[in-house]
Amino acid sequence: MKFYNRERELQRLAEIAELAADAAQLLVVTGRRRIGKTELVRRFLENRQDALYLFVSKKKPRVLLDEFCDLVAVKIPLAANVTFRNFDDFFSFLFQYLKEHPLMIVLDES
Tens of pLDDT, residue by residue over 80-105, are 999 999 999 999 999 999 999 999 99
Domain ranges of the chain: 1-48, 50-110
> Cα(66)–Cα(5) distance, rounded to whole angstroms?
36
> Cα(106)–Cα(52) distance, rounded to whole angstroms?
6
Nearest to 29 by CA among 45, 40, 20, 19: 40
pLDDT attached to residue 37:
94
**pLDDT tens-place string over residues 44-60:** 999 999 999 999 999 99
- Residue 8 predicted with pLDDT over 90: yes
Q: DSSP 3-state assignment of 53?
A: strand
pLDDT attached to residue 18:
93
Label residue 23 by pLDDT band (50, 70, 90): confident
